Structure 1
Amino acid sequence: MVVPALVLFFTFHTYPAIQGIFYSFTDYKGYGVWDFVGLKNYLNVFQDGRALSAYGFTFQFAIVSTVLVNIISLLIAIGLNANIKFRKTLRATYFLPYILSVLIVGYIFKFMFTHLLPQIGDALGIGFLSSNILGNPDLAWIGIVIVAVWQSTAFNTLLYLAGLSTIDQQVYEAADIDGAGSWAKFWKITFPLVAPFFTINMVVAMKNFLMAFDQIVALTGGGPGQVTESISLLIYRGGFQGGEFAYQSANAVIYFIVIVAISIIQLRVLERREVK
């Protein structure tokens, strides 16, 4: 029963990955003949200003989004875990954004940033709302962060809710008897006991944000200019539209190594904290 799944996985995942690694050592343009060029493509990536700029934007976006989505998700999860009315309904409502298509959400927010918010800003005389932030080279990335965090919060909240459900309420009752305040209970009880879920959320969120593509395509297309061009978008454009198949394959291999390295470092650091 496992063989069909293995065949499909190898055909549509492993084989294309191996093929991409192979072509990264050539000058293949996606068509025609090719020759081996060794490590030339890999060396050129580190000298490519556009690629370095894309790496810088991607890391900035991923770090800010990862921090924000985990803070917001944990706060929402704590609120939903409390004894409040319509708790189950609210959980379903908060999870709805994760179900929606990323592209559809991106286009809706693009309309809001481009037309709706500026109109509201003009009507109310609010200066910072009157302009389209997606057209501002200094602020466009903030719009992408808002959309990415809004949609990703749902999944992270679900994981934190699972973690909070494993905490025995008697622990909080004992803390109340000892006179512990809300902050002390969070820092000494809640956060340490959900630490494994915090680790999972941090690693998964960082990986997903590093691979950001759909939100950027829908909101800015990498613009204005190339200030919001992520590595994934650069690889797609150069590899499939710019005749740089081999070069961007090398870029993709480097990026894969970077993501794996960051994930391993996160796991090592955060798991060490769990032990403490």
Structure 2
Amino acid sequence: MINRKTTFMLIAIPAFLLFFTFHTYPALQGIFYSFTDWKGYGNWNFVGFSNFINVFKDTRVLSAYGFTFQFAIVATIIVNIISLLIAMGLNSKIKFLKTLRAIYFLPYILSVLIVGFIFNYIFTHLVPSFGQSLQINVLSKNILGDQNLAWLGIVIVAVWQGVALNTILYLAGLVTIPEEVYEAAVIDGAGPWKKFWKITFPLISSFFTINMVLAMKNFLMAYDQIVAMTGGGPGTATESVSLLIYRGGFEGGQFAYQSANAVIFFVVIVAISLFQLRVLERREVE
């Protein structure tokens, strides 16, 4: 008769094989090809670290990194501020609380591409029409067609959809705070701001850390919203690193070169995540 340990092993093997086949093996292949000149077809030769060196010299790549960091930082900050405010509101004793929580979570379960296409139509047609009817110059044009403003449209959509998950995580943290703590603070004369800064925020700091790391990682890897809304345009103004890797690797015959870019991008994301964890976890201890 098969014992429990063997049973668990047999159950885990299919999942391990699937994960290795569709995740680990392709990743290792990408790392291998980053040291070659392979175009995605035909023969290839080893070129050492030349692909990695050329990435740092490529102005288009550097521009993509600049846009990606700008977008990710702004979106991460806005998402966490809005999510925390909504979570604190939903944590109050109000009517239809469960219904409101479900409504706020709804954007997260929608397809990112479909949401992007819908907002593309809104920014292209509805908002300009609305702005022209009210004679508001700022709203009278399609911001997605403006090199300086297109990224703000993507931020709005990414934040609108990203708030849902962060709100749920903050709610999970808020329900762990005993009500007696707030009652004691009220007796001591603490106001709303002092209760938040001295009680609420310190006690949910671990959830704040999780949300900051997850949000930054997700926004750094932005792809779907950009494809659906601007396609990286106007020009390359909203071309993210993920979109550049896809275009160059699968459409531009730069498979090895963009593999090197992907390896660098992976290291950057890991480094940023570890830095965030180290800084924010240190603040939790303090």
Percentage of matched positions with identical amino acids: 75
1:30 match? 40
* Aligned mate of 1:176, from 176, 186, 189: 186
User: Secondary structure, in 3 states, of the residue corresponding to 2:38?
Assistant: coil
1:193 match? 203
Provide structure 1 residue ranges, at least 5 long, that are not aligned to the other structure.
none
User: Secondary structure, in 3 states, of the residue corresponding to 1:225?
Assistant: coil
* Aligned mate of 2:123, from 113, 116, 138: 113
- Listed one character per residue, the Cα deviations across residues 237-267 of structure 1 (whole Å, up to 9, x for unaligned) are 0000000000000000000000000000000
1:152 match? 162
2:101 match? 91
- Listed one character per residue, the Cα deviations across residues 19-69 of structure 1 (whole Å, up to 9, x for unaligned) are 000000000000000000000000000000000000000000000000000
> What's the CA shift for 1:126?
1.0
Provide the rounded CA distance (Å) in 2 between the counterparts of 1:95 and 1:144: 19
> What's the CA shift for 1:115?
0.1
Question: Are positions 1:167 and 2:181 aligned together?
Answer: no
Provide the rounded CA distance (Å) in 1 between the counterparts of 2:57 and 2:237: 18
Provide the rounded CA distance (Å) in 1 between the counterparts of 2:79 and 2:18: 34
* Aligned mate of 1:65, from 69, 75, 87: 75
2:220 match? 210
Provide the rounded CA distance (Å) in 2 between the counterparts of 1:246 and 1:38: 11
Provide the rounded CA distance (Å) in 2 between the counterparts of 1:58 and 1:25: 25
TM-score by structure 2 length?
A: 0.96
1:124 match? 134
Paired residue type of 1:248 = Q
* Count of matched residue positions in the alignment of Structure 1 and Structure 2: 276
RMSD over aligned Cα atoms: 0.3
Question: Are positions 1:133 and 2:143 aligned together?
Answer: yes
- Listed one character per residue, the Cα deviations across residues 172-206 of structure 1 (whole Å, up to 9, x for unaligned) are 00001111000000000000000000000000000
Provide the rounded CA distance (Å) in 1 between the counterparts of 2:85 and 2:272: 25
2:267 match? 257
1:2 match? 12
Provide structure 2 residue ranges, at least 5 long, that are not aligned to the other structure.
1-10
Question: Are positions 1:79 and 2:89 aligned together?
Answer: yes
User: Secondary structure, in 3 states, of the residue corresponding to 2:152?
Assistant: helix
Paired residue type of 1:226 = T
User: Secondary structure, in 3 states, of the residue corresponding to 1:221?
Assistant: coil
Provide the rounded CA distance (Å) in 2 between the counterparts of 1:275 and 1:182: 24
Paired residue type of 1:183 = W
TM-score by structure 1 length?
A: 1.00
Paired residue type of 2:111 = S
Provide the rounded CA distance (Å) in 2 between the counterparts of 1:189 and 1:196: 13
Question: Are positions 1:269 and 2:255 aligned together?
Answer: no
Provide the rounded CA distance (Å) in 2 between the counterparts of 1:194 and 1:86: 24
User: Secondary structure, in 3 states, of the residue corresponding to 2:233?
Assistant: coil
